[in-house]
Amino acid sequence: MQTTLKTAVTFTGVGLHTGQQVRMTLRPAMAEAGVWFNRIDVRDNPWICARWNAVTPSQLCTLVVNEAGVSVSTIEHVMAAIAGCGLNNVIVEIDGPEVPIMDGSAADFVAGILSARLVRQNAPVRALRVMQPVEVRRGDAVARLEPAEGFGMEFHIDFPDAAIGRQAMSLDLANGAFVRELCDSRTFCRNSDVSAMRAQGLILGGSVENAVVVDGAEVLTPGGLRHADEAVRHKMLDALGDLALAGAPIIGRYVGHRAGHAMTNLLLREVFARPDAVRLVACGGHLSARLPGAGVTRSDLSALAA
């Protein structure tokens, strides 16, 4: 069955790129509603649907915009939390143009969702089953969806900094794996890129408190890494959030090689341009149990501290 929140939950923090203080509240929504952003600081046309075709090109994040030009950026972490907790219908009420970055991961959003609790609704979960492989390439970057049972992900990255280097991970995202394995992995950047990004008006709210900053083999962020392969885990977190813009859970396997937000959105556009690439299916008990978020509890989140 589809789910929504039992009660609303609020988050406050700064936007990574704008540096603006933002208040964001996740509110229950009716069955079949999906995920909507509501810019409560905007009087006219404040509603933005969280869908792949609302995404517009943006540096270093995912940004959705409606027909009136009203937008919300850096939505990937909260979208990952929504998908990873199995939340189908929710209104994301926000009083600014960017989702708060929190600690640079999705852990705070996951904790809030699980504290608010999910309730079942009288409507079946429908998922997009991948029927044939779809792949997009741009230079060395590759993003692919292929048929599979349940939802799995494989990701490869390669950075010159020794603190990151080459990393790869493969994960079945059923039964709370997102919460246990990925949700606390933070966004990262190279120290050599920080000044250039700020000169472009980016990461104005960024700091070592909400990102992993590396310089060669050194991790500048206090406390170091949460996982030895935190960078590739965060890339997978981002990909789950971007794939959630398909509008329904995906039954298939995602493979990313040096892929980012733009590549994943390009992949979704290619998928929906092919009528036979995916099929919308109702999920029975067995299939529902293979989706991200199925059976997630707060104990999955507490396992992060172990």
Catalytic site residue from 17, 77, 234, 261? 261
Residue 261 catalytic?
Answer: yes
CA gap 68, 72 in Å, rounded = 12
Name the residues annotated as catalytic.
261
